[in-house]
Amino acid sequence: MIIAFWLIFEVAFHLDVADGHDHHHHHHHPRVIITEKDCAVRKHTLQGTHSRVELLQGPRHRTLYAGGGGRLFYLDFREHDGKEMPVFNCSNSCSRNISSCDYDITLLHECKNGSALFICRTDRTTPVCCSASRETGFCDECHPEKAVAPVSVHERAPSLYVGEELYTTANMVNGGNHVGIRRHYGHRVSIWPSDNVTEQNYVALVASPRPNKIQDRIYAFLVQRNADQHREADLWVSLVTQVCQADLGGPKSFLQRSWTSHLSALLSCGIAEKKLYFNQLLDVAVLEQDIWKDSMVYALFSNGWGMTAVCVFTMGDIDYVFTNSPFKGYMGTVPHPRPGTCVEDSTKLPQDVLRLVKDHPEMKDWVRPVNNSDPIFISHHHQYKHIRVDRVNSSLGDSYHVILLTLGSGRVHKVLEQDGHTFVIAELRPFAYCCHIRNVLLQPHTKMLYVSSSSEVVELDLRSCQAYGPRCEDCVMARDPYCGWNGTHCAPVTSSAIQDVKHGNPQLCTQREYVPSIPQKVKRHTAHFLSCPMLSTHATYIWYHNGTKVESLVTDSLCLLLIEAMDTSMAGTYRCNASEMNYAKVIVEYKLSVESKAQGLAPKYLLLYLLSLTLSSMLPQDL
């Protein structure tokens, strides 16, 4: 009966039954699963359901603005009760420009040196923007803005405020191809480039400041419909484009109020020898360095096979292609100054320079990852959506990079990058339900990650360490650079903490914790089960009865040993062992004896309980 029961469970509910359980042992599978119950998360509910949520850093640590359908909220996560304050709604002065409150906020920035908010919203026909007070949310100025903010709430249209200038990529008409990098406001002339002839979707805008301010650039990352119509060609290609912030456009006779520094180059991500390529850019995160050339661009890609990958570029890699590559399709002599060079007055550039920029803006060379390397991370199983990157210092002062990747099901993967290799530290489950993550905001100084669904914003403390387990070995083997053993528990890392980010060596822990044997009396002929928590999915779990291996049952987070009918042969010592990285430890130990009294839990009720336990542990797959 018991074997049949296990077989049914395995087929119907995809459980593992074996002598030892190596639960998806792979470094690209999260080692630890951390739910909202395992760590301290704080949440703010957004009134209503929002198809788009814009997030912006607030004036103080652990504060932010969240804009959605019809409202803007000021969220203060320092307040334990989760206080909310709507600061922008239909009652203010902007409402007269929109017939109803049926609109969505699509753009949210700070402006005027941080003293005000710049907010745009759409009613799906006319985008409207205003400058609003940080304190009251009331609009100082409110006016329709074409090509500043998207008409459709579903258009990504990244934008960037740099000083007093706003750079945007919004479509001029809903569903059209009228996209491009545009500059608004500030003391320099506005730039409105010509419409693109190919379909483009912008992914990110990134500022690249230089010691010489004339050389400051804006990089745009985007996907473009592939001009190659071959049946084996990918539908999309990924590009990076540049414009100079000092660009004033061309003279009145040519390229007036258009970019004179706009160049583009294809992005390469894949493994050439395996003919495995990732051509559709999904998201970008930048990790700033002291020297601008060393600043790192982490780019998340996908391909037509449902795989995702992360490739890393540097600003120097990108700049080198734009300053050295031949121009695609151009065979003549490159004029001086080289087209795309940032100059003080672009209206005085020679005609042949402007003509080459207009006719041949694409580079022949591709921008390739650091040291022409392969992707640092490839997933065959997970469909990632967003990427953020943080820099963390270990207890020894070493610097590590942690990549944060969101999934379509509402989860977040916390990934350690070390010398081009990756290790998935944990899977964070900030929501109690399956949902789409609308937006993500990382506050590097507080080490807080903010994740938004359509109805709430959750604060995740990346230094939350208690979920790794109660022992020193658990903490060290986690390889989490945010965490270390402080002598009593796993806590945010300090210089004196025990930590081994590179190897996760548990031998650094000098004190061994004694696992007591838990006595249990079980009524004769009754069913009984023993539970062993699986803190690490990379470990192998084995149950022993009086030193002999016995079969067990694995759910999402438990290794269960089932006794169908208790008798004297089932009495004795039961020990659950976990082994990982050539290190073995006892997780739990029970001492069972027979109590020959009234009947206890019948087998059928135990099986029903196990069924409910299994179903509750199973979450929907990634979307």
What's 343-369 look like in SS3? CCCHHHCCHHHHHHHHHCCEECCCECC
User: Which amino acid is it at 431?
Assistant: F
pLDDT number for residue 10: 42
Of the three residues 366, 381, 396, the one that is the final residue of a domain is 381
CB 82 within 8 A of CB 68: no
Q: How many domains does the chain fold into?
A: 3
Q: Among 10-19, 344-353, 497-506, 558-567, which is the least confidently predicted range?
A: 10-19
Query: What is the domain range of residue 476?
Result: 472-508
295 within some domain: yes
Q: Among 24-28, 175-179, 248-252, 573-577, which is the least confidently predicted range?
A: 24-28
Residues 219 and 366 in one domain: yes
Q: Is 397 left (phi over 0), alpha (psi -120 to 50) or beta?
A: left
Question: Is residue 278 exposed (0-12), middle (13-18) or buried (19+ Cβ within 10 Å)?
Answer: buried
CA distances from 442 to 61, 355, 383, 391 (A): 11, 42, 20, 11
CA gap 113, 130 in Å, rounded: 16
CA gap 254, 447 in Å, rounded: 49
Return the number of other C-beta atoms located less than 10 Å from residue 40's C-beta.
11
CB 396 within 8 A of CB 366: no
Return the number of other C-beta atoms located less than 10 Å from residue 470's C-beta.
12
145 within some domain: no
Check pLDDT > 70 for residue 98. no
Q: Is the model more confident about 474 or about 227?
A: 474
Check pLDDT > 60 for residue 588. yes
Residues 489 and 376 in one domain: no
Q: Which two tokens stand for residue 92?
A: 């203010």
pLDDT band at 396 (very low <50, low <70, confident <90, very high): confident
pLDDT number for residue 13: 38
Residues 373 and 254 in one domain: yes
HEC sequence for 131-149: EEECCCCCEEEEEECCCCC
Residues 228 and 317 in one domain: yes
126 within some domain: no
Q: Which parts of 444-546 fold into alpha helices (H)? A: 472-477
Of the three residues 381, 411, 440, the one that is the final residue of a domain is 381
DSSP string, 510-537: -PPPP--EEEEEEETT--EEEEEE---T
236-263 tens-digit pLDDT: 899 999 999 999 999 999 999 999 999 9
CATH number at residue 12: 2.60.40.10
CB 527 within 8 A of CB 601: yes
Q: Facing residues of 327 across strands?
A: 363
pLDDT number for residue 80: 62
Residues 602 and 549 in one domain: yes
Question: Is residue 215 exposed (0-12), middle (13-18) or buried (19+ Cβ within 10 Å)?
Answer: middle
Q: Is the model more confident about 177 or about 542?
A: 542
Give the pLDDT mean for 526-530. 94
Q: Is the model more confident about 87 or about 210?
A: 210
Average pLDDT, the chain: 87
Please state, for a pLDDT cut of 90, what percent of the chain lies above it.
65
CA gap 218, 160 in Å, rounded: 9
pLDDT number for residue 109: 95
CA gap 508, 499 in Å, rounded: 8
166 within some domain: no
61 within some domain: no
CATH number at residue 503: 3.30.1680.10
271 within some domain: yes
CATH number at residue 368: 2.130.10.10
Residues 316 and 332 in one domain: yes
227 within some domain: yes
Order of strands across the sheet that contains 41-45? 41-45, 456-461, 448-452, 439-443
Closest CA to 603 of 7, 1, 4, 18: 1
CA distances from 312 to 17, 72, 190, 380, 384 (A): 40, 35, 33, 19, 16
* Neighbour-count burial for 564-594, b at 16+ CB within 10 Å, e otherwise: bebeeebbeebbbbbebeeeebebbbbebeb
Check pLDDT > 90 for residue 307. yes
Residues 593 and 489 in one domain: no
Check pLDDT > 50 for residue 24. no
Of the three residues 455, 490, 508, the one that is the final residue of a domain is 508
pTM tops 0.85, yes or no: yes
Residues 288 and 349 in one domain: yes
Residues 274 and 239 in one domain: yes
Look-up: residue for tokens 């099901």?
A: 409
Give the pLDDT mean for 462-470. 93
Residues 244 and 374 in one domain: yes
Q: Which two tokens stand for residue 318?
A: 């990108």
574 within some domain: yes
Give the pLDDT mean for 511-527. 90
pLDDT band at 361 (very low <50, low <70, confident <90, very high): very high
Question: Is residue 406 exposed (0-12), middle (13-18) or buried (19+ Cβ within 10 Å)?
Answer: buried
Residues 249 and 355 in one domain: yes
Closest CA to 46 of 64, 76, 78, 72: 72
pLDDT number for residue 16: 43
Element (H, E) at 5: helix 2-13
99-151 tens-digit pLDDT: 456 788 999 999 988 888 999 988 888 888 888 888 777 776 677 777 899 98
Give the pLDDT mean for 364-385. 95
Check pLDDT > 50 for residue 83. yes
Residues 352 and 212 in one domain: yes
Check pLDDT > 70 for residue 18. no
